[in-house]
Amino acid sequence: MIWPRDLFRRRKSQTPPTFEEYSLLAARARDRPGFLPETGPEIHSDLFRYLTEQRGRGAGIIEVGCFKGASSILFAYLCDKYGWPFYSLDITPEYLEYTRKLLHELGLGSGGRFFLGSLEKFGRETRLAERPALVFIDANHSYPEVVKDIRALYELNRRPHAVAFHDFSLRSSNPADGRIFVDRAIFDCFGNGVEYRRIGQQFGENPVPSAESPSPAGAYWERNGSEGVLIELDGRELSSP
């Protein structure tokens, strides 16, 4: 699919983005019935800083797995400010619709595209006019699904400048969750020596929840883990699997 309006740069805002202005918008979302953030201020602030410092190295943001729109607020805010295209993906129509309405109520995402499906499907059906500044992957965290998302990055018609992954050091003791290994999938695809920035919450020797004391659903953080990571893709090819 070609989104005709993406062929023309949207008008960028007269005022630069500020984290304070974004935080006020994000605070308004908390009152919306059903709002449930799965990402928080630490990772949002790291992504805000990265994207505002990296201006010019890509245009546009693709978010994979919007859920109830907690990260979408940040991405739509920045895309509106910069006149960038914003693509929000989810495989669950209700979440996509929730996010679309939330952004609309906040006066954001007027140029947003809401795509039902995976990054793989998006890449097959969409022609990007410019290279995205960032793809944020926070979808299915099981090893084979993360591998699929990474491979799908390389099938896009424009190589994104950077990719960020949520739940890098997440684990689950619940067999129903499958093999939750975002970090292992990244190392297997990009190589063990891949350079990455740690973003979001940082965990020490005693993370909460921990392997010894997981959440009621069985989730926990690896010791000395990171909530997320960011990898720049320029000149970086995939190794395996």
Ligand X SMILES: C[S@@+](CC[C@H](N)C(=O)[O-])C[C@H]1O[C@@H](n2cnc3c(N)ncnc32)[C@H](O)[C@@H]1O
Closer to ligand X by Cβ: residue 65 or 192 = 65
Closer to ligand X by Cβ: residue 65 or 109 = 65
Alpha-carbon distance of 216 to 17, in angstroms, equals 38
Backbone angles phi, psi at 192, to 5 degrees: -65, -25
Smallest gap from Cβ 125 to ligand X, in A, equals: 13
Burial of 218 (0-12, 13-18, 19+ CB in 10 A): middle
Q: Does residue 200 sit in helix, strand or coil?
A: strand
112 and 39 Cβ atoms separated by less than 8 Å: no
Alpha-carbon distance of 205 to 200, in angstroms, equals 17
Using rule CB under 6 A, residue 46 touches ligand X: no
Alpha-carbon distance of 88 to 172, in angstroms, equals 26
Smallest gap from Cβ 38 to ligand X, in A, equals: 3
> Which secondary structure element, helix H or strand E, spans residue 78, and what is its range?
helix 70-82
- β-strands 162-166, 112-116: how paired? unpaired
Subset of residues 89 to 148 that bind ligand X, contact rule: CB under 6 A: 89-92, 95, 118, 138-140, 145
Closer to ligand X by Cβ: residue 126 or 140 = 140
Q: Which residue has the tokens 């424009």?
A: 158
Alpha-carbon distance of 203 to 87, in angstroms, equals 31
Smallest gap from Cβ 139 to ligand X, in A, equals: 3
Q: Which stretch binds ligand X (CB under 6 A): 66-74, 125-133, 203-211, 228-236?
A: 66-74
Smallest gap from Cβ 14 to ligand X, in A, equals: 28
Among 67, 75, 77, 143, binds ligand X (CB under 6 A): 67
Among 25, 37, 151, 154, binds ligand X (CB under 6 A): 37
Fill in the per-residue mask, 202 to 231: x = in contact with ligand X (CB under 6 A), - = not in contact.
Answer: ------------------------------
Among 58, 65, 111, 200, binds ligand X (CB under 6 A): 65
Task: List residues near ligand X by CB under 6 A.
Answer: 37-39, 64-68, 70-71, 89-92, 95, 118, 138-140, 145
